[in-house]
Amino acid sequence: MPRREITSGNWAFAEAMRQINPDVVAAYPITPSTDIPMKFADFVANGKVDTNFVTVESEHSAITACVTASAAGARVMTASSANGVALMHEIFPIAGCFRTPIVFGLVNRCIGAPINIHCDHSDSMAERDAGWVHLYCEDAQEAYDTAILAIRLAEHKDVLSPVFVCQDGFITSHGFEPVEILDDAAVKAFVGERDADFPLLDVDHPVTYGSFAMSEYYFEIKRQQIEAMKNVLKVYDGVAKEFEAVSGRFYPKLDRYRTEDADFIVVVMSSASGVVKDVVDELREQGIKAGCLRVRMFRPFPADEVAEILGTAKAVAVLDRALSIGGTAPLAAEIKSALYDCGKNIPVQSCVYGLGGRDFFPQYARELFMDLAAGKVSREERYLGLLE
């Protein structure tokens, strides 16, 4: 029987790792994801897992060891945040191109300077073109469930991709809340065992990974990656449904909340969506047709579905917890692009909020919806909760 525990996002992710019992974990501590390797080390020290836990000397070595272990045929997991993620930057596209499945607990934290340990999405957004699947979780339950689901997605033969499972630093990673933990046996049966194609350790069938490909071949290899990433959109729902059969919880690519007949929709990712959904309920009681669209899958970006959901709205606001200084914030850029491609000229207000862990309060969402309703939509990026 599943059990309910009061736990944090980090501990829930680590608990999923215990149940998955991967072959190799190579990790290096960094706030706010440190709890994950720490908790996992505890499992190793007490015989709760028999994973080969490689305590590397940097994040760069952590991700390198994950890539080569995965190429060797092992099931591999790790976790990191912020500057650790930035230090891994060089290796992420290599993992993507090698098509090496890795499930990565990315606990979102801002990138300095100024140095700051709190949440925003600037670390993962900087990796959005690395050829990884990006899944953003709203709460600890979802982080736990997604860790398990992502194993099957990453290792799916039509996908073979590393996956980031993102949760908000401190807000989710250190917030304690009830989480339903599945039976060990149910998780074990769901994830099964990895059946690797072309593993490096098959010495009777030697393979070369990471060769030198110049302009005659590079482009074609990248094209193959594009196709594999498109496959994620095709197979994801099937994997999510299988997970639902085990857990009773279905996680769509896009979490729509009262969007069906909504005139005004706020698009958001991760933990802030709870606040937006509360405000949607409040405004609905006042007769305002508000809705919330939470983007859970950011890569590949489900653009067609996004356009379909937003296509009937009168106005849309997009909340980004990351910047693209001198350009359009990452989520807003995707949303505008998706709408443009399907010929929808819907006013879109781009808003940046919560940088460096700045709190996101209901009144910000309330004011935003009221502005959408009043037709106050500008091409200028807005900054919510900024003191100026």
Partner 1 sequence: MAIRIKDFTEKESPLTNGHRMCPGCGAPTAVHQGLMGVESPVVVVNATGCLEVSTTVYPFSSWRVPWIHTAFENAGAGVSGVEAAYVALKKRGKIDKEIKFVAFGGDGGTYDIGLQALSGALERGQDFTYICYNNGGYMNTGAQRSSATPKGANATTSPAGSVLPGKLQKPKDLTAIVEAHHIPYVAQTTLFNATDVAEKVKKAVETPGPAFVNILVPCVLFWGIDPSLQQDICKLAADTRFWPVYEVVDGVWKLTYKPKKRVPIEEFLKPQARFRHLFKGDGAKAMLEEIQADVDADWQVILDRCGATWEA
Which residues in this chain contact partner 1 in the complex, by CB under 8 A?
23-24, 26, 50-52, 54-58, 60-62, 64-74, 76, 90-91, 94, 200-203, 206-214, 217
How far is the CA of 13 from the CAs of 107, 142, 316, 356, in angstroms? 10, 9, 33, 23
Output the smallest distance, CB 25 to partner 1, in A.
Answer: 9
How is residue 75 written in tokens?
Answer: 């099931």
Q: CB nearer to partner 1: give 50 or 242.
A: 50
Output the smallest distance, CB 58 to partner 1, in A.
Answer: 6
Q: CB nearer to partner 1: give 50 or 197.
A: 50
Output the smallest distance, CB 97 to partner 1, in A.
Answer: 10
Q: CB nearer to partner 1: give 26 or 133.
A: 26
Q: CB nearer to partner 1: give 100 or 273.
A: 100
Q: Which of 158, 154, 144 is nearest to 66 (CA)?
A: 154
| Other residues' Cβ atoms within 10 Å of the Cβ of residue 94 | 19
HSE, side-chain direction, 13 A CA sphere, residue 219: 2
Secondary element (H or E) of residue 231:
helix 218-247
Output the smallest distance, CB 125 to partner 1, in A.
Answer: 23
How is residue 166 written in tokens?
Answer: 């993102």
**Pairing between strand 52-54 and 382-384?**
unpaired
Output the smallest distance, CB 265 to partner 1, in A.
Answer: 42
Q: CB nearer to partner 1: give 84 or 357.
A: 84
Nearest-angstrom CA–CA distance, 151 and 102: 8
Q: CB nearer to partner 1: give 100 or 271.
A: 100
Residue 328 — φ and ψ, nearest 5°? -95, 135
How is residue 283 written in tokens?
Answer: 């405004």
Q: CB nearer to partner 1: give 212 or 375.
A: 212
Output the smallest distance, CB 40 to partner 1, in A.
Answer: 14
DSSP 272: G
| Neighbouring residues of 201: CB distance < 8 A, sequence distance ≥ 6 | 72, 73
Contact 169, 119 (CB under 8 A): yes
Q: CB nearer to partner 1: give 57 or 285.
A: 57
Residue 326 burial by Cβ neighbours in a 10 Å radius (0-12, 13-18, 19+): exposed
DSSP 210: S
Output the smallest distance, CB 132 to partner 1, in A.
Answer: 15
Three-class secondary structure of residue 105 per DSSP: strand
Output the smallest distance, CB 102 to partner 1, in A.
Answer: 11
Q: Which of 244, 281, 246, 247 is nearest to 262 (CA)?
A: 281
Nearest-angstrom CA–CA distance, 84 and 132: 17
Output the smallest distance, CB 347 to partner 1, in A.
Answer: 45
Q: CB nearer to partner 1: give 102 or 266.
A: 102
